[in-house]
Chain A
Amino acid sequence: MSTETLRIVWIYPDLLSTYGDRGNALILARRAQQRGFPVEVLEVRSDERLPTTADIYLIGGGEDGPQALGAQRLLADGGLHRAVAQGSVVFGVCAGYQLLGTSFFAKGTQYQGLELLDLSSDRGPSRAVGELAGDIDARLGLPPLTGFENHGGRTHLGPGVSPLARVTAGVGNDGATEGAWRGKLLGTYSHGPALARNPALADLLLRWATGAQHLPPLDDTWADRLRAERRTAVATARA
């Protein structure tokens, strides 16, 4: 951590907050506080400068127009690139995941991405809407990913990133892989409050940000029940 306080920045909630994206900031803050870390959550609007010294940056989902606008403003601001160069954690969801790549499509036009992750996105044949599940890259040591996806894009990964997960239900990047990660940057199509259904993923981001090897376990009774219920629902739908 750069300071005594864990600083979480939620990037452009005025543009990129369509599906309960606030949840990720809330979950991270709570899980950090329960481990005794003082936490500060900053909501930075698109007409404000992005602070470059925060520990975790969150980028949420959004419609085409706001996504393109968000990418343009982040490129012009340059703050996120400086923060990444200093080792900050970035977690991108859906539109926020796409714009971390080299390019994405919005309103039928190709836009330049932030080029922080080696991936590019285009339009898929159909909209991917529904439950999303996958087995996460074993190197991350996490239980399976569970989420809900709602996107029209397909994402192609370059050699510079690893898939976050192998898809077991839903579409993700392309029906085979889902999300991507490199270093302390991670993106997923599991939209909105993805961390609510994946507390272990939240803890991974906190470990990356704090440098802690282990975090004391928390009572995740309700999240575990939710995960089990969703796993059953996906299995039932497939049967």
Chain B
Amino acid sequence: MPISRVRWSGNLARVTDAKMPLRAKVASSVSRTAAALSRAAGRGDGSVIGGWLGLKIDPELLAHLSAGRAIALISGTNGKTTTTRLAAAAVGVLGRVATNSFGANMPTGHTSALAKAGSTPYAVLEVDEHYLAQVIEATDPHVVALLNLSRDQLDRAKEVAMMAQLWRAALARHPDIRVVANADDPMVVWAATPPASHDQRITPPHVTWFSAGQRWHDDSWVCPECGSTIQRSGEQWWCTGCALRRPEPQWTVDEEGVVDPTGAWYKVKLQLPGKVNIGNAATALAVAAEFGVRPFDAVPRLGDVTSVAGRYAQVVRDGRTVRLLLAKNPASWLEAFDMADEAPTLLSINARDPDGLDTSWLFDVDFAPLRGRLVLITGDRAYDLAVRLEVNDVPFQYVRTFDEAVRAVPPGRLEVIANYTAFQDIRAELDRVN
């Protein structure tokens, strides 16, 4: 069993502005003020503008704010906001935890989260996968959790293998960081394993592997190490050309619960839907364990998490219980189908800048799980979805607006699965009326 070694040494209480250079103090203060002004003006939660101003005044601000804190970074293509929320709840067993809970996951958001954290000794930060290397340099984290890597907004994002390479190089520069990584994702396993230890049968001592189930395999058929084909059988996978293979996970998911490295099983009762979130809970518990938190103490706190940045939130509207699920890329659509109940389902697709302008990925998603449900479609790019569903043999009904969708379904549950800006549009619509 891996022992949770803690690297920081009890100096946590000394995180205060007094320790910072003057420039950093000013920057930190301006950052907090701007965030408060932004909130007061109704311009969002202020976490981006505040952090942006702070970093303008002192580019080293994030490093100053991180000094002396025990920090966990959580990154990956999918599940990072939810896992961050769950991990912050779990680490909360130890005391107050700073976190960027609004999903502001770039350095400006981290700066803002820490600037308002005062002397809070712990931080759990969600990190956009493109910024992980940079944020590792700035924050000197105690633990980094690597969730998964899959295709996401390919018209501008880095290809999956290149991202894995960036992660790997960053971690190789910091061999003292504890890593919690997904054993089911070949790209993640490769990224988490330092170049010196090609033999995957020897797990590097600082990596804790978890297995949370992986539905999406289409970005890891080619070995990132040697280019050979990766074979799969059941949950196992291995490269046919080199030693890269699935490491034995220490944390696993089983029967609505999580199994820890000692083999102890904990029932995990969440308010968040789906097996996917049990997997996220397992990851959160593994992260918290790196801080010395026992699963026994942390599990009850996970059940207190109700919604995450509006995701999974349920709103009653005209006798319909509307639940919002965010799905941004092929892998997360498969997860959303797992989370959604067998109920009338509205799918909404946009292709604005934050979504990626290209809708080709719709053909990477198999919508067959929706057959038999009443399916409605809307959004800027509903026609792309219509063509996709037609060839997928999923009958659907086109509606112009969210309101029309609500009226089109019988009283009861309405599941809504939407990509990023479509999700924000519907959230704003619900906030406006409720």
Q: Please state if A226 and B383 are interface contacts (CB–CB under 8 Å).
A: yes
A19-B154 contact in complex given A69-B227, A130-B357, A226-B386, C-beta closer than 8 Å: yes
A192-B358 contact in complex given A14-B222, A18-B151, A129-B156, C-beta closer than 8 Å: yes
Q: Does B360 contact A (CB under 8 A)?
A: yes
Produce 1/0 per residue, B203-226, CB < 8 A to A: 000000000000000100110000
- Max count, chain A CB within 10 A of own CB: residue among B154, B360, B362: B360
Residue in B closest to A129 when the chains form the complex, CB atoms: B155
Q: Please state if A63 and B159 are interface contacts (CB–CB under 8 Å).
A: yes
Residue in B closest to A26 when the chains form the complex, CB atoms: B391
Q: What is the CA–CA distance of A45 and B222 in the complex, to the nearest angstrom? A: 11
Which residues 349-365 in B have Cβ within 8 Å of A in the complex? 357-364
A19-B361 contact in complex given A14-B222, A222-B386, C-beta closer than 8 Å: yes
A193-B390 contact in complex given A63-B159, A225-B383, A226-B383, C-beta closer than 8 Å: no
Produce 1/0 per residue, A82-119, CB < 8 A to B: 00000000000000000000000000000000000000
Q: Please state if A150 and B154 are interface contacts (CB–CB under 8 Å).
A: yes
Q: Please state if A148 and B358 are interface contacts (CB–CB under 8 Å).
A: yes
Q: Does A39 contact B (CB under 8 A)?
A: no
Produce 1/0 per residue, B353-391, CB < 8 A to A: 000011111111000000000000000000110111011
In the assembled complex, which residues on chain B have CB atoms less than 8 Å from the CB atom of A130? 357
Q: Please state if B360 and A20 are interface contacts (CB–CB under 8 Å).
A: yes
Q: Please state if B388 and A196 are interface contacts (CB–CB under 8 Å).
A: yes
Q: Does A66 contact B (CB under 8 A)?
A: yes
State the total of A-B contacts with C-beta under 8 angstroms. 81
The one of A14, A69, A196 in contact with B387, judged by C-beta atoms closer than 8 angstroms, is: A196
Q: Does A46 contact B (CB under 8 A)?
A: yes
Residue in A closest to B364 when the chains form the complex, CB atoms: A20
> By the criterion of a CB under 8 Å from any partner CB, how many residues of chain B are at the interface?
28
A46-B156 contact in complex given A14-B222, A23-B363, C-beta closer than 8 Å: no
Which residues 136-170 in A have Cβ within 8 Å of B in the complex? 148, 150
A30-B391 contact in complex given A18-B151, A66-B222, C-beta closer than 8 Å: yes
In the assembled complex, which residues on chain B have CB atoms less than 8 Å from the CB atom of A4? none
Return B166 CB to nearest CB of chain A, in Å.
Answer: 15
A18-B154 contact in complex given A47-B229, A63-B161, C-beta closer than 8 Å: yes
Q: What is the CA–CA distance of A197 and B156 in the complex, to the nearest angstrom? A: 22
In the assembled complex, which residues on chain B have CB atoms less than 8 Å from the CB atom of A47? 229, 240
In the assembled complex, which residues on chain A have CB atoms less than 8 Å from the CB atom of B364? 20, 22
Q: What is the CA–CA distance of A73 and B205 in the complex, to the nearest angstrom? A: 39
A222-B229 contact in complex given A18-B151, A19-B154, A19-B361, C-beta closer than 8 Å: no
Q: Does A53 contact B (CB under 8 A)?
A: no
Return B294 CB to nearest CB of chain A, in Å.
Answer: 43
Q: What is the CA–CA distance of A66 and B162 in the complex, to the nearest angstrom? A: 13
In the assembled complex, which residues on chain B have CB atoms less than 8 Å from the CB atom of A229? 383
Residue in B closest to A20 when the chains form the complex, CB atoms: B363
Q: Does A75 contact B (CB under 8 A)?
A: no
A23-B154 contact in complex given A15-B222, A65-B227, C-beta closer than 8 Å: no
Q: Does A27 contact B (CB under 8 A)?
A: yes
In the assembled complex, which residues on chain A have CB atoms less than 8 Å from the CB atom of B155? 129, 148, 150
Q: Does A176 contact B (CB under 8 A)?
A: no
Q: What is the CA–CA distance of A222 and B390 in the complex, to the nearest angstrom? A: 9
- Max count, chain B CB within 10 A of own CB: residue among A17, A19, A45: A19
Return B334 CB to nearest CB of chain A, in Å.
Answer: 14
Q: Does A7 contact B (CB under 8 A)?
A: no
Return B359 CB to nearest CB of chain A, in Å.
Answer: 8
Return A2 CB to nearest CB of chain B, in Å.
Answer: 25
In the assembled complex, which residues on chain B have CB atoms less than 8 Å from the CB atom of A19? 154, 358, 360-361
A148-B391 contact in complex given A18-B151, A19-B154, A222-B383, C-beta closer than 8 Å: no
Q: Does A223 contact B (CB under 8 A)?
A: yes
In the assembled complex, which residues on chain A have CB atoms less than 8 Å from the CB atom of B222? 14-15, 65-66, 69
In the assembled complex, which residues on chain A have CB atoms less than 8 Å from the CB atom of B363? 20-23, 26, 192-193, 196
Q: Can you spell out 17 A-B residue pairs with CB atoms less than 8 angstroms apart?
A: A17-B218, A18-B151, A19-B358, A20-B360, A22-B364, A26-B363, A26-B392, A27-B391, A47-B240, A65-B222, A148-B359, A150-B154, A150-B155, A192-B360, A192-B363, A193-B360, A226-B384
User: What 14 new A-B contacts, CB under 8 Å, besides A23-B388, A148-B358?
Assistant: A15-B222, A20-B364, A21-B363, A65-B222, A66-B222, A69-B222, A69-B227, A129-B357, A148-B360, A150-B155, A150-B358, A196-B387, A222-B386, A226-B386
- A interface residues with partner B (beta carbon < 8 Å): 14-15, 17-23, 26-27, 30, 45-47, 63, 65-66, 69, 129-130, 148, 150, 191-193, 196-197, 222-223, 225-226, 229
